[in-house]
Chain A
């Protein structure tokens, strides 16, 4: 699975309270995305263009089970790459259909605004003529993404409409 796009770079410890602040619970679903990173990077959500890639530091997605990956997906973020990723966020991203890849050291190797290309199942990232190797996405999880997330899969299997 190959994905390419323009990179945004954020630091370490971007948690779900920053990605999906509690105010989201009180907003209609279509408006929640604009709250993404509003506490630490006000205005950012409005600058994201569909197809952009988010590059982050360590412990990305630390925190609660709230649907934080939805906000990134709804902003049009096509791929998340981070030095290290919280296990629950990783699962939620896959289930939500948001491609995600763990590549140690990536946050210090990518310049904001650069074009970045990645291959999920091979696990590499290329940017500015450099290549970094991360943890390839196992086929079991790549299939959930290919199905379009877990809801699409459950619908295909006849469990839900």
Chain B
């Protein structure tokens, strides 16, 4: 019998160009076929790309181009660059162009549009492509140079890392969300650069897809190569509703006897709302309640991880009948145009705006200090985006606390870091 494999080892083995189906193991370099490739608007800012365009590309039908980081374009250079990208997409025959106002942030957008499928390999320049693992898809951010190589050859490589298994038990309690689940893991177990993370255990079935998406997306912050959830009924149902009828899915599960380098048990019921303190996410996490003395001036909800409809609903539940604290600026960014429209229909956006919050278009925006509200010197921010690194959202003299959208909303109301359960229990 061949060596039992983890979920990621199996997906890589199936896609190997050299020996499809031959088991792979840690330290192997595997060259693979890429099923789908995502390009971003940031391509326009890369001189290597704009100055050395491929003469022709492989498989334009497998490529989507998403304008998400800096939209609408805040500079003349970028506006000019986007026009060039549109022209390139036409020349190369790329039809899936998600232009300004018609898409959103690539990771949630690709899932929403049926481009994230279990058992497949999805490549994108951007580091949070591991988000695709929520649906059992091996998504990986590979950088602009590697994307150029994939455009030319249709292939890429991976150095197979060891795999860690997180075993989830129980259910998330009220007021505790996917971000808290992730922060619990990152705070307890720390970073795993070059390794993979696979989720198993009875607790997985209780997690809604958007919750899994938050967790998988945030996997980049512990340095995980791939983060994978099993393609269970819930995941398959989500994907089937989004792919054209008649297209077959090829979900891949881990072998029952597969070898995992480490086991990370996590009980969900006892979890409380958590915050990562400024600087890094790993081993830098505390309960929100221990940090309630921290006053904030900025509050941000959004990003590929936490701009979902569920996030906007949490925010609107907390803000309903309340006001954003006069000393705080709250910015809320839905992660796709479809989420924006639905949150609008449900009244969440109106609630947020009436409370004094600012709702922006679907973009990366403030998450990476790009535009739409960068942080100034000395400002303290609580955010449900992805990173709390020094300088990440603007000034290197700003301080960034990372938390769930509910914690951000509660803190925006009180003006200091606040456990959302305090406002949920007395929801007006």
Residues of A within 8 A of B (CB): 13, 15, 17-18, 21-22, 25-26, 29, 38-40, 58-59, 62-65, 67, 84-88, 90-92, 95-96, 102, 135, 138, 140-141, 149-151, 153-155, 157-161
Contact = CB atoms under 8 A, between A and B. Distances in A.
Nearest to A97: B145
A63 B222 CA distance: 9
B127 A151 contact: no
Contacts, number: 132
Contacts of B45: 25
B46 A86 contact: no
Contacts of B146: 91-92, 95, 150
A138 B28 CA distance: 9
Nearest to A102: B194
Contacts of A91: 142-143, 146
B415 interface: no
12 contacts: A13-B280, A18-B390, A25-B45, A40-B390, A62-B221, A62-B223, A63-B389, A85-B193, A86-B193, A138-B159, A150-B146, A159-B153
Given A38-B396, A141-B29, A63 B387 contact: yes
Interface in B335-383: 368-370, 374
A156 B236 CA distance: 43
B145 to A, nearest CB: 4
B397 to A, nearest CB: 9
B46 A67 contact: yes
A21 B389 CA distance: 10
B280 A92 contact: no
Given A65-B144, A85-B194, A151 B370 contact: no
A54 B153 CA distance: 33
Most chain A CB neighbours (cut-off 10 Å) among B52, B390, B391: B391
B48 to A, nearest CB: 6
B103 interface: no
Contacts of A18: 389-391
B391 A17 contact: yes
Given A58-B193, A88-B127, A95 B143 contact: yes
A87 B193 contact: yes
B191 interface: yes
B273 interface: no
Contact of B125 (A25, A65, A138, A149): A65
Interface of B: 27, 29, 31, 45-48, 52-55, 75, 125-127, 141-146, 148-149, 152-153, 157, 159, 161, 191, 193-194, 221, 223, 225, 279-280, 282, 368-370, 374, 387, 389-392, 394, 396
Contacts of A64: 126-127, 368, 387
Contacts of A26: 75
A140 B193 contact: no
Given A58-B193, A85-B194, A92-B143, 10 more contacts: A62-B191, A62-B280, A63-B387, A64-B126, A64-B368, A65-B127, A67-B144, A84-B223, A95-B146, A138-B159
A46 B143 CA distance: 27
Which of B46, B143, B148, B390 is most buried by chain A, counting CB atoms within 10 A of its CB?
B143
> Binding site of B, secondary structure by majority: helix, strand, loop or mixed?
loop
A63 B374 CA distance: 18
Contacts of B221: 62
Contact of B143 (A85, A88, A154, A161): A88
A150 B149 contact: yes
A154 B146 CA distance: 11
Nearest to A62: B223
A101 B193 CA distance: 14
Contacts of B157: 140
A61 to B, nearest CB: 9
Contacts of A159: 54-55, 152-153
A22 B161 CA distance: 30
A30 B142 CA distance: 24
Nearest to A153: B149
A88 B391 contact: no
A98 to B, nearest CB: 11
Contacts of A39: 390-391, 396
